[in-house]
Amino acid sequence: MKYLNALALVLLSFNFAASGQHTGIGGGNAFPSPPPPPPPRFSTHSLVQHILDLIEEDETEGEAKHEEKQSTPSEETESSAP
């Protein structure tokens, strides 16, 4: 049994012995440590910020529409002038 184990070990190590030519020149950032994972797309903070941005956008748009409505008659008055 011991002999069989030893034989298996020899076969295994033979199987793992490399041969042939493995050559090349590379470089740059060869084999670097993996980059840090990107930050989560929506952290609690960014989600809150995102909602606040949306509200702000909505308010700005509302104000813009309001101003537009107010300015329309005067434009009409100007355009209707001879």
Partner 1 sequence: MLADLKALINTWMGERSTRNLSLLSRQSGVPYPTLRRVYQQENSPTLETVLAILNIVAPTEGALEFLGQHFPSVGSWVGKLVHGYDAKISSGDFNEELRDRISFAIITLASAGGTTFEAIDSMFGEYGLNKLRRLLEMEAIHERDGKLRCRYDSFSVIDPRIVLEQIKHTVELFDMNQIGQPAVTAQLHTDGLSDSGVQELSRCMQEFEEQLQRIFHQHRGPQVVMLSYISSFLSKETP
Site for partner 1 (CB under 8 A): which residue of 2, 17, 37, 81? 17
How far is C-alpha 63 from the geometric centre of its chain's CA atoms? 34
Using rule CB under 8 A, residue 81 touches partner 1: no
Site for partner 1 (CB under 8 A): which residue of 1, 5, 13, 25? 25
Using rule CB under 8 A, residue 22 touches partner 1: yes
CA 69 to each of CA 35, 60, 66: distance values in angstroms, whole numbers, following the listed order: 53, 14, 5
In the three-class reduction of DSSP (H, G, I as helix; E, B as strand; rest coil), residue 35 is classed as: coil
Nearer to partner 1, 11 or 64 (CB): 11
